[in-house]
Structure 1
Amino acid sequence: MKSLLGKKIGMSRVFSEDGQVTTVTLVELGPCVVLAQKSQEKDGYQAIRLGYDKRGKEGDDKIKGNQDRSFRFVKEVKTDDEHKAGQEIDLGQFEVGEIVDVISTPKGKGFSGVVKRHGFHGAPKTHGHKHDHRGSGSIGCAFPQHVMKGKKMAGHQGHTRVTVKNLEIVRIDPKKNLMALSGSLPGCRNAYLQVVSRQEKKEAKKD
Structure 2
Amino acid sequence: MKGLLAKKIGMTQIFDENGNVVSITVILVEPNVVVACKEKTKNGYSAVVLGFDDLKKKHITKPYGGQFCDGIHPKRFLKEFRDFDVAVLVGDKVGVTLFEGIRFLDVITTSKGKGFQGVVKRYGFRGGNKTHGSKFHREIGSTGQCTTPGHNFKNIKMPGRMGFEQVTVQNLRIIQIDPNLNVIFVRGAVPGNKNCMLIIKSAIKKQRVK
Shared fold per TM-score greater than 0.5: yes
Judge conservation of contact 1:90–1:177 (CA < 8 Å) in 2.
Answer: yes
Q: Are 1:2 and 2:5 matched, yes or no? A: no
State the percentage of identical aligned residues: 44
Aligned partner letter, 2:32:
C
User: Equivalent of 2:111, from 106, 119, 122?
Assistant: 106
In structure 2, what is the Cα distance between the partners aligned to 1:2 and 1:116? 37
Root-mean-square deviation (Å): 2.6
Which residue does the alignment assign to 2:21?
21
Name which of structure 1's ranges 41-50 and 158-167 shifts more when overlaid on structure 2: 41-50
Normalised to the residue count of structure 1, the TM-score between the two structures is: 0.85
Q: Are 1:84 and 2:89 matched, yes or no? A: yes
Judge conservation of contact 1:59–1:70 (CA < 8 Å) in 2.
Answer: no
Q: Are 1:36 and 2:17 matched, yes or no? A: no
Pairwise mapping of residues 125-144 of structure 1 onto structure 2 (< 5 A)? 125-126=130-131, 129-130=134-135, 132-141=136-145
Query: Deviation at 1:64?
Result: 4.8
* Per-residue CA distance 1:22-60 (angstroms, 9 max, x = gap): 100000013101111122222222211111111245446
Which residue does the alignment assign to 2:50?
50
Assess, with a 3 A threshold, how the Cα gap between structure 1 residues 64 and 75 changes in structure 2: closer, same or farther: closer
Pairwise mapping of residues 115-154 of structure 1 onto structure 2 (< 5 A)? 115-126=120-131, 129-130=134-135, 132-141=136-145, 145-154=150-159
Assess, with a 3 A threshold, how the Cα gap between structure 1 residues 115 and 58 changes in structure 2: closer, same or farther: same
Aligned partner letter, 2:27:
V
Q: Which runs of 5+ in 1 are unaligned?
A: none
Name which of structure 1's ranges 177-186 and 116-125 shifts more when overlaid on structure 2: 116-125
SS in 1 for 2:10: strand
Higher helix share: 1
Which residue does the alignment assign to 1:65?
66
Aligned partner letter, 1:187:
G
Which residue does the alignment assign to 1:190?
195
How many residues are aligned here? 200
Assess, with a 3 A threshold, how the Cα gap between structure 1 residues 167 and 45 changes in structure 2: closer, same or farther: same
